[in-house]
Structure 1
C-alpha cells in the first residue's frame, strides 16, 4: 500500500479572481491571497477600524496630491499574492487605479493595523512585503501601543527596524518632506 498525504492546493491570481467573480466567497468574507494560499482574516473590530481612520485623518492633509491614500484594498504583488493592507500611500496615477490593482512598485508606504494578527504581520507579512521591495512598512501595534517602522528591504527582511512611541515623530522615506507625529495615529 502506498501512503498518500494530503496536498495543499495553491492558487494564483487568475483562479482567485475567477472564484470571486463566480460568487464562491460570501459577500461579507474577508480573505487575502498570500503566497498562493487563501487566508481568512479576522473581522475588523472598533479599535482597528478607528486606527485606520486615524491614519487617513492624520496623513491626508500632509500628503495632498503627492500620493493617493488607499485603505483596505488589494495590491497585486505577484501571481500568488494579493493582500489587502489596512492603509497604503500610492504613487499618483491619473486613473486612481481604476483599471488595475496597484503593484509593489506603486507603493510608497504600507501599513498594517495589528492586534490579533500581530505575529503574522511581524513575520509572514513582513517577509512578503520585504521580498517585494515595499520601501516602508509600518505596523500600528495596538497590543503594545507603539508604531513599528521597517525600512530598507533586503533579502526578505528589513535592514532598519525601529519602534516609536507617542512622543516620537518621523519623516516618510518616499516623501521626506512629510513629517508625522506618532501620537496622531496611536
Structure 2
C-alpha cells in the first residue's frame, strides 16, 4: 500500500477573486492571499489602528500630489499573492486605482504595523515583498518601539536593513525630498 498524504490546495488571484464575488467568505473576514494560501489575519487592535492613523497623518501632508496614500487595501503581487498592507504609498494614477488593484510596480513604499504578527512580517512578508521588488518596506515594530526599514530588494530579501528610533528621521527612497520624523509615526 502506498502512503498518501494530504495536499494543500493553492489558489491564484483569479480563483481568489471568484471566491470573493461568490460570497464564500463572511463580509467581515480578514483574509489575505499569500503565496497561494488563504490566511486568516488577526483582528486589528486599537494600538495597531492608531499607528496606521499616525502614518496617514504624518505622511499625507508631505506627499500631497507626489504619491497616493492608501491604507489596508489590496496590492496584487504576481498571480498568487494579494496582501492588504497596513499602509502604501503608490505612484500617482489619474483614476486612483479604481479600475484595478495596484501592483508591485505601482508601490513606492509598503508598511506593516506589527505587534502580534511581527515574526510573520519580518520573515514571510519581507521575502514576499523583496521577491516582487517592492523598493522600500517598513515595519512599525510596536513590540520593540522602533521602525525597521528595508531597502534594495534582491531576489527574496533586502540588502539594506536599518533600525530607527523616535530620535531618528529618514528620507523616502523613492521621494528623497520627503523627510519623515520617526517620532511622528511611533
Q: CA RMSD in A?
A: 0.4
Q: Secondary structure at the match of 1:65?
A: coil
Partner of 1:157: 157
Aligned to 1:23, what secondary structure does the other structure show?
coil
After TM superposition, list the pairs within 5 Å mapping 1:4-153 onto structure 2.
4-153=4-153
TM (normalized to structure 2)? 0.99
Q: 1:2: how far off?
A: 1.8
How big is each residue's C-alpha offset from its partner over 1:52-87, in whole Å with a ceiling of 9 and x where there is no partner? 000000001000110000000000011100000000
Give 1:93 deviation, angstroms: 0.1
Superposition misfits of 4+ residues, deviation over 6 angstroms: none
* TM-score (normalised: structure 1): 0.99
- The runs of 5 or more residues in structure 2 that have no matched partner are none
* Matched pairs, number: 186
Q: Structure 1 unaligned runs (5+)?
A: none
1:155 deviates by 1.5
